[in-house]
Structure 1
Amino acid sequence: MKIALGQFAATPRWEENLATAIDLARRASAEGARLLLLPEDILAADMQDPDLTLRAAQQLDGPYVTGLIAGLQGLDLTVSGCIFVPDGSGRVYNVHIVVSAQGLIGTYRKLHLYDAFAMRESDRQTPGAEIAPLIEIDGFKIGLMTCYDVRFPELARALALNGAELIAVPSAWVRGPGKEWHWEVMLTARALENTCYVAGIGECGPRNIGCSMVVDPLGVAVVRTGQDPDLLFCEISKERIAKTRATLPVLQNRRFADPTLR
């Protein structure tokens, strides 16, 4: 299956970001992609205004999601990315959405909030409480994670044991000493230890690193990009997964119990 990674820098205006997402979708579909992965914060973002997260949040049936679904009409393409959704108490959920021309296919509320490196997402966000069901596209089973989740191997392992062959990780990975290396190491580790594909899609711009990449089941970065807006493509292969798992049967050889969410 051919997938696309659409890396861009979100602006404070959701209308502009929606237009960018639809443009990337049309370009990805024209190249034969069946899945387009977009970053975290595709609704609205402003590094100087963290409260924009609260003001810009929309319901899943709001204008951003319905506009994206409308923009996909006529395209044989599924799109994923993250938006902020009001939780009903003045805070928001960070929701990884999956949509197509037929509507909303699936959602995942980010489990691990980024209370690290002097940032506190929990000041404005409410964590999710469930591991999302897998999404199936062209016979491939896809697991959903978001950004900081990639530092927690239990979630990726749970998705792999549920059958995930590709794990999608939209992100707004903040710059800092060694942070690009952290990103690459974590994506590679999650792919290699679970012998599946992992696609990390980074928001770029003045605060975040971009650096989107797809890592294959043997830990090889098969495509990657730098810090600028980009649209890159990758073929993922069930044969590659099967051969890797036959040679490196870590999921069979493990001695620990299945991870559970507490």
Structure 2
Amino acid sequence: MTSTVGLRVGAGQLMAAADHEVMRAQVRECLDDARDQGVDLLVLPEYSHYYDPRGVPAHAAEPLDGPFVQLLARWTADASVTVVAGLTRPAHRHPVNTLVVVAEGAVQATYDKVHLYDAFGYRESDHLEQGDVAQEGVFSVGEFSVGLQTCYDLRFPELTRRRIDAGADIVVNPAAWVAGPNKLHHWRTLLAARAIENTVVMVGAALDGRGVCGDTRIVFPDGTTAVGAAHGRHVVSVEVTRTLIADARERNPSLSNRVY
């Protein structure tokens, strides 16, 4: 019999700012909101530490023992929550765009963005290094396996499928989804598509503000949006159970019906 044990999954939306202190203040507010909602897994956006729509500069990067991650570590040390958040951290020639997973006061996992946003007239590779394609990108929260990917990764279904094949029940996609013609439609469509084709819960935590779309949402395996926030700083959350995912995979056995 499938366990009905649930996980309260939260997605936090932040207002983009090219200011570390402003961003950390918003993160603290989201952490408090998540605690009030009883969230077990909180997903914050890409570039939760600092964002400039012209390109996040190298000097904005923070190491994994820097102030941003220290804030997450201090907060999770006294709270039974796992936090996923995006930042840039120093590397070799350029910084890397990293998701950090923090729980029990320490970094539990990281993922460096693989697909750099060289599209729609923008070149992220001019100031960021590509992550290693061999990264595992999956971690556990209670009975659930969670896959990691970032923003532009959403446009590449093979990456999400790798997470599913590694056992993910939930895939998180923090983003600073750049605004433009049809871009909001793309965001919503791709989140729903990845959820449906993989019978998985997709968590799209987004930055809002100048140059980005906002529109944070958690999408269930049938493609429906369970909760969402269009604009402003918010935390939205929903209960996810093993039964929810198992039932979706029984009704729509596309994973087991695969030929390729």
TM-score class, shorter-chain normalisation, is over 0.9
State the 1:126 CA deviation.
0.6
Secondary structure of 1:250's counterpart equals coil
State the 1:11 CA deviation.
1.7
Q: 2: distance between equivalents of 1:243 and 1:67?
A: 38
The amino acid of 1:2's aligned partner reads R
State the 1:196 CA deviation.
0.6
Q: Which runs of 4+ in 1 moved over 4 A?
A: none
Alignment of structure 1 residues 106-117 onto 2, 5 Å:
106-117=109-120
The amino acid of 2:126's aligned partner reads D
The amino acid of 1:98's aligned partner reads V
State the match for 2:151 in structure 1: 147
TM-score by length of 2: 0.94
The reply to whether residue 27 of structure 1 matches residue 33 of structure 2 is yes
State the match for 1:2 in structure 2: 8
Secondary structure of 1:204's counterpart equals strand
What is the CA deviation profile of residues 41-69 of structure 1, one whole-angstrom value per residue up to 9, with x for unaligned ones?
11111225x2x431110111122212321
State the 1:176 CA deviation.
0.8
Question: Percent sequence identity over matched residues?
Answer: 34
What is the CA deviation profile of residues 174-200 of structure 1, one whole-angstrom value per residue up to 9, with x for unaligned ones?
111111110011000101000010011
Alignment of structure 1 residues 154-233 onto 2, 5 Å:
154-233=158-237
State the 1:225 CA deviation.
1.4
Q: 2: distance between equivalents of 1:133 and 1:95?
A: 11
* Unaligned ranges ≥5, structure 2: 1-6
Bigger shift: residues 145-154 or 70-79 = 70-79
Q: 1: distance between equivalents of 2:57 and 2:155?
A: 23
State the match for 1:78 in structure 2: 82
What is the CA deviation profile of residues 136-165 of structure 1, one whole-angstrom value per residue up to 9, with x for unaligned ones?
112111000000000000000110111100
State the 1:218 CA deviation.
1.2
Asked whether the 8 Å contact 2:197–2:254 carries over to 1, the reply is yes
Asked whether the 8 Å contact 1:15–1:64 carries over to 2, the reply is no
Bigger shift: residues 201-210 or 221-230 = 221-230
Q: 1: distance between equivalents of 2:84 and 2:137?
A: 14
The amino acid of 2:228's aligned partner reads R
Asked whether the 8 Å contact 2:138–2:147 carries over to 1, the reply is yes
Secondary structure of 1:114's counterpart equals coil
State the 1:131 CA deviation.
3.2
State the 1:250 CA deviation.
0.8
State the 1:73 CA deviation.
2.9
Q: 1: distance between equivalents of 2:229 and 2:25?
A: 22
Secondary structure of 1:252's counterpart equals coil
TM-score by length of 1: 0.93
Measured on the aligned residues, the alpha-carbon RMSD in Å equals 1.2
State the 1:238 CA deviation.
1.1
- 2:17 pairs, out of 8, 11, 18, with 11
Secondary structure of 1:186's counterpart equals helix
The reply to whether residue 100 of structure 1 matches residue 97 of structure 2 is no
* Unaligned ranges ≥5, structure 1: 257-262
Bigger shift: residues 71-80 or 214-223 = 71-80
Secondary structure of 2:213's counterpart equals coil
Secondary structure of 2:231's counterpart equals coil
Asked whether the 8 Å contact 1:200–1:212 carries over to 2, the reply is yes
What is the CA deviation profile of residues 88-137 of structure 1, one whole-angstrom value per residue up to 9, with x for unaligned ones?
22x11000111123300110000000000000000001111133341111
Bigger shift: residues 68-77 or 121-130 = 68-77
Higher relative contact order (CA 8 A, sep 6+): 2
Asked whether the 8 Å contact 2:99–2:112 carries over to 1, the reply is yes
